[in-house]
Amino acid sequence: MTGERRAMAPDDPGVTAGERAGPEQPLSRNRDYRLLWGSQAVSEFGFHATMIAFPLLVLALTGSGAASGLVMGTIAAAQMVAGLPAGVLADRYDRKAIMLVCEAAQTVSAVSLAVAVWTDTATVAHMVAVAAVFGACAALFEPAESASLPALVSDAQLPTAVAMNTARASMGQLSGTATGGFLFAAGRFVPFLADAVTHAVSFTALLFLRLPRRERPTGPAPHPGREVLDGLRWVWRERAIRVTVACAIVLNLFFSAFYIVVVVLAGTRGVPSGEVGVMAAMLGAGGLVGALVAPVWHRRLGPYRAIVAVFWALALLTPVAVLVHDGYLTGVLFALMALFPPTANTAIMTDQLLRTPDGLRGRLTSVLVLACGAAGAAGPALGGLLTEVLPGDGAILVCSAGITAAAVLTTAGPTLRGLPRDRPEEEPPEDS
C-alpha cells in the first residue's frame, strides 16, 4: 500500500471531514451516528428473529435435522468465507454503498423467501441461498460500519460509540430471539416478512447517512489476495494490535467454553430446562448491562486497566461455578460474568481503531471478527470435549486455569503495560 497514489474521494458528496461530529457535540445529538445506530438496531432485530425461525421452518417443511443444520451452517460458512475479503472492500470502496447493498440484498432475499413460504414453494436450495446471502452480508457490513465510526464521532466519544454498538447487538439478539418464535407461530412466512421490513427500513435510513470525505486508493486495484495479506501483515507487525487481538481471542475461547461446560453439567445434574433457559437469558441480560456501563468503566480505568481488570474479574468468578449448582444462582453468576467482557472489548476495539490508518480499518475489523468468531466457535467444542474427558467440576477448573493464566500474562506483559494507564479525557456526561 506504500507509495500508492491516493486521492480524496467522498463517501457522500458535499460532506467534508470538518463537518463530522466534533468533541463538543454529544452522541445523542449526532445525527449521522444516530441514523447508523438506529438503522442497525432495527435490522438486527429482524436478523435474529429470522435466525430463530430458520431452523423451525426447515424442520416444519422437511422434518430433517440435517437439512436444518445445513441451512444454519451455511450462514456461518458464508460469514467465514466473506470475512477477510469484506475488509478489503471496506478499505477500497465506498463504505456507505457497501452498507446499502448489504441491506438491499437482505431485503430482497427475505422477501423472496417469505413469498415462497406463503405460496408453499420454498425449497431447501432456496433457503440455503438466502442463508448464504444473510451470512455474506453480515460479514460485509461489519467492517464497513466499524471503519466508519472514527469518521462519525470524535476520538473521545469512540469508546462510547463502540460500547453502544455492542449494547445494540445484545438488544437485537434478546428481542429478536424472544420474538421470532411468536412470529413463526403467527405464520411461517411472518418472521421473514418482518425481517424484510426491518432491512428495508434500515436501507432507507442509511440513504440519509453522511460520511465525511476520506482518502481512497486510485488507479488499478491490487489483487485482492495481496490486499488481504497487507491487512494481515499490519495486524501482525503492530505489536500492540497483535497482542490485543490475542486477548480478544482468549477471552472469547475460554468464556464460550466455560458457558458450554456449565450448561452441560447443569443438564447432567438434573437442572430443569426452564432454569437452563433462565441461565442463558441472564447471560444475555448481563451482557447488555455490561455494554451500557462499559463507556463509564473505560473512561475511569483507561485501556490497560480495563483489559486487566476484566480478565481478573473473570478469573475470580469462574471457579465459583464449582460451588453453585442451582440454575437460578448460576444465572446470577452468568449475569455477573457477562458484565465485564464488553469493557474489555470496548478498550480493545477503541485502541485498535485509533492506532490503525483509515485505509486499513476495514481489514483490521475483518481480522478481529474472523479471529473472535473462530474462537467463539472453537470454545463450545473445547467445552464439550472437556466435559467428556474430565469428571465433575474438572472442566470448570480447567477453564478457570486458562482464564487465570491469561490474566497473569495480560498483567505482566510489556505490550499491554505500554497502553495508556491514565483515565482518558472526560467526555460530557450527556455523551453516554
pLDDT in the model for residue 107? 96
pLDDT at position 181 over 50: yes
pLDDT at position 9 over 60: no
pLDDT at position 432 over 90: no
123 & 87 share domain: yes
Model confidence, pTM: 0.78
208 & 233 share domain: no
Q: How far apart are CA 310 and CA 332, in angstroms?
A: 17
Answer whether residue 106 is part of any domain. Answer: yes
pLDDT at position 314 over 80: yes
Answer whether residue 165 is part of any domain. Answer: no
User: With b meaning 16 or more CB within 10 Å and e meaning fewer, what string describes 294-313?
Assistant: bbebbbebbbbbbbbbbbbb
Answer whether residue 85 is part of any domain. Answer: yes
Answer whether residue 431 is part of any domain. Answer: no
315 & 204 share domain: no
Q: What is the mean pLDDT of the chain?
A: 81
pLDDT in the model for residue 2? 35
pLDDT in the model for residue 19? 41
pLDDT in the model for residue 256? 83
* Residue with more model confidence, 214 or 409: 409
193 & 236 share domain: no
* Least confident piece of the model among 82-86, 115-119, 128-132, 213-217: 213-217
* Least confident piece of the model among 83-92, 272-281, 369-378: 272-281
Answer whether residue 164 is part of any domain. Answer: no
180 & 269 share domain: no
In the block, cell 453480515 appears at: 138
pLDDT at position 417 over 80: no
* Residue with more model confidence, 183 or 229: 183
pLDDT in the model for residue 219? 59
> 214 — phi, psi (to 5°)?
-145, 160
Q: Which three cell numbers stand for residue 389?
A: 474427558
CATH at 190: 1.20.1250.20
Other CB atoms within a 10 A radius of the CB of residue 16 amount to: 10
290 & 360 share domain: yes
182 & 274 share domain: no
Q: How many domains does the chain have?
A: 2
* Residue with more model confidence, 64 or 308: 308
287 & 381 share domain: yes
Answer whether residue 406 is part of any domain. Answer: yes
Band of residue 193 on the pLDDT scale cut at 50, 70, 90:
very high
pLDDT in the model for residue 299? 83
Band of residue 101 on the pLDDT scale cut at 50, 70, 90:
very high
pLDDT at position 115 over 90: yes
pLDDT at position 248 over 70: yes
pLDDT at position 426 over 60: no
pLDDT in the model for residue 322? 87
pLDDT at position 71 over 80: yes
pLDDT at position 121 over 80: yes
178 & 241 share domain: no
245 & 304 share domain: yes
Interval 123-142: pLDDT, tens: 999 999 999 999 899 989 99
pLDDT in the model for residue 365? 83
Summarize the confidence of residues 46-50 as an average pLDDT: 89
Answer whether residue 3 is part of any domain. Answer: no
95 & 206 share domain: yes
| Four-CA torsion 352, 355, 359, 364, nearest 10 degrees | -20
pLDDT in the model for residue 176? 83
Answer whether residue 141 is part of any domain. Answer: yes
Give me the domain span that covers residue 419. 229-423
137 & 252 share domain: no
